[in-house]
Amino acid sequence: MSWSRAAPSKLPPSSHHRALQASKMPNTCLAVSLRNPDLSVIHLGTVLEGITVFLFLCDRWDAAEGEHMQNLKKVYNSKETKLVDDLQLFLFEVISQTAAELFTLQISVVALVVCLAGLVWSLDNGLARTPPMGWLSWQRYRCNTDCVQYPDDCISEKLYMRMADLLVSEGYRDLGYKYVNIDDCWMSRNRSKDGSLQPDPVRFPNGIKSLANYVHSKGLKLGIYEDFGTKTCGGYPGSKFYMQQDAETFAAWGIDMVKLDGCYTDVSDMDEGYPIMGFYLNQTGRPMLYSCSWPAYIKQKDFALYQKIAKYCNIWRNYNDIGDSWDDVSGIIEYYGKDGGNFSKVAGPGNFNDPDMIILGDYGLSYDQQRVQMAMWAIMASPLLMSNNLETVKPESKALLQNRRIIAINQDPLGIQGTRIVKMNGLEIWVKPLAPKGKSIAFAFLNLNHGGGPSKVSYPLNKLGAMSPQGYNVTDGFTGKLIGTYKSKDKISVNKDTSETKEYVK
């Protein structure tokens, strides 16, 4: 199986699976010496040529990671980072580009290679220290490629330029909404002769680099969409077999974020393939925020999987696509409330769960429901990627999208994902610790009852984790109004109305 340049037809069909099998060998510790005279054949970096590589690995490498790294460092002594990087690339290539003679390497060696690849590299691009904010075309504009009938609403450079202009002129950029993200259907149906991705020539006549320049000139960043499989979900060329080339293309175009979707592939390939794309993005030297759809395609997700994902991706979708509806918003909130696999615990600076786009300003939500989405995405430390027509967003929606206090909760530097601590009779209480740690918290009372008639809810502050003996100033997150000063054992009371969120912050 290849995720890089080699033509799929040249690959030994079962190599990937054999490697995976072998990597599951019980408790074997091996030292392997690889003097490989054929390195140039597989286009390795010069660093590896002619050197002897010792790998010390156990299949329990996860438990003994530190030890393996030390062994590796002893061997390489100097320049280890570069060497390990190159070695890793080599290992990927062994798996992916293996010409018949190279594949005569012992399968156990290939297995070790797989382990090492997982072992030595992790995403550390300095990005997404807080949840990314911006605009993304998918929910509002989907795959509309008909620029004749819909000149203003089709996926085209004009659309992204117009949204970039509006992010600036309507004041969104200065509040942190920096990314302008292209989603599916931007490409030409075919790659160019040399295998490069190319945008649709009619809808993007000036090319993506020129669009990136435009977006950058406005103080914004440009995101793009691709897919890990052979095709995007919309049927355009996917990155499988072209990962390195695509990463390099994105870097050359000046891309700042890459969303890698997961259609048209075997799901079991993802946990090797997504890290590989991350590796190639990293290799370009251009910081590109890496958004993975990987977990959204995996049914059973446990904490170990989330830890792995967080090691390789900046943000990741883990649940269904959002549509323009309250059912979708409330379904996502419920999924995040359940927190299956404790995914909330892997969120933090550099890594965030992505419950999908903000749909404020569209048509599906009432005003109160828009308040809920905004408040809950803030409490959940979620990326704030709006998908709306910024030209027609109503003033009340815009005020919510631009509420500085809500944004500050979302962008809190601790990056802690808030969790649900109470769910009772349709009422939920969510808490998110804020900086300075131990002193401030944000909490939300979320009422999902559809029955009418207000009623009062009271809850003691200390049960929300507000334990400071000095007490707390409690402020309404939406209005900034001081609700009062409370001791930690005091109860906070709210009137709950239908489908509403009240959000407070010290």
Residue ranges that bind ligand GLA, judged by CB under 6 A: 138, 183-184, 225, 232-234, 261, 293, 321
For this structure, is 38 an active site residue?
Answer: no
Question: In angstroms, what is the minimal distance from the CB of 361 to ligand GLA?
Answer: 18
Question: Dihedral, CA atoms, 487, 489, 490, 491, nearest 10 degrees?
Answer: 140
Which is closer to ligand GLA, CB of 173 or CB of 259?
259
Would you give the distance in Å from CA 286 to the centre of its chain? 17
Taking the C-alpha atoms of residue 501 and residue 372, their distance in angstroms, rounded to an integer, is: 5
Q: Which of 59, 183, 184, 261 is catalytic?
A: 261
Which is closer to ligand GLA, CB of 184 or CB of 428?
184
Beta strands in 419-478 (DSSP E): 419-424, 427-434, 440-447, 455-460, 472-476
Taking the C-alpha atoms of residue 376 and residue 367, their distance in angstroms, rounded to an integer, is: 14
Q: Which of 62, 86, 321, 324 is catalytic?
A: 321
Name residue 134's beta-bridge partners: 179, 385
Question: In angstroms, what is the minimal distance from the CB of 228 to ligand GLA?
Answer: 12
Please identify which residue in the block is written with the tokens 């659309």.
159
Which is closer to ligand GLA, CB of 193 or CB of 299?
299
Which is closer to ligand GLA, CB of 136 or CB of 372?
136
> What is the sign, positive or negative, of the torsion defined by CA atoms of 240, 244, 250, 255?
positive
For this structure, is 261 an active site residue?
Answer: yes
Question: In angstroms, what is the minimal distance from the CB of 313 to ligand GLA?
Answer: 14
Which is closer to ligand GLA, CB of 277 or CB of 431?
277
Question: In angstroms, what is the minimal distance from the CB of 158 to ligand GLA?
Answer: 20
Question: In angstroms, what is the minimal distance from the CB of 63 to ligand GLA?
Answer: 35
Nearest to 502 by CA among 400, 368, 402: 368
Taking the C-alpha atoms of residue 167 and residue 176, their distance in angstroms, rounded to an integer, is: 10
Question: In angstroms, what is the minimal distance from the CB of 138 to ligand GLA?
Answer: 5
Nearest to 464 by CA among 449, 482, 445: 445
Other CB atoms within 10 Å distance of the CB of residue 92: 24
Which is closer to ligand GLA, CB of 318 or CB of 397?
318
Peptide bond just before 436 cis, omega within 30 deg: yes
Phi and psi, residue 430, nearest 5°: -120, 145
Taking the C-alpha atoms of residue 291 and residue 269, their distance in angstroms, rounded to an integer, is: 17
Catalytic residues: 261, 321
